[in-house]
Amino acid sequence: TRGLNCPLPILKAQKALTSMSSGQVLKVVSTDTGSVRDFAAFAKQTGNELMSQTTEGSDFVHILKRR
């Protein structure tokens, strides 16, 4: 989701997660600084596990596990 601003990274992640099986892991790479806060809230609201969030240069990497 590089180059996309809120809410597009969340919407794309949500779409990907719906096609995944329970327990599968999704890696989302974003350049939106607000995505750190957004993905934490998204995981809490949806019940998916936010396994980690890291910053790699200008990229914010979010690892989510499908509930």
Q: Is residue 6 annotated as a catalytic residue, yes or no? A: yes
Tell me, rounded to whole angstroms, the distance of Cα 59 from its chain centroid. 12
Residue tagged active-site, from 1, 5, 6, 43: 6
φ, ψ for residue 40, nearest 5 deg:
-65, -45
Using N-to-C axis directions, what is the helix angle for 8-18 and 35-46, rounded to 10°? 40
Give the residue carrying structure tokens 């750190």: 36
Q: Catalytic residues, which ones?
A: 6
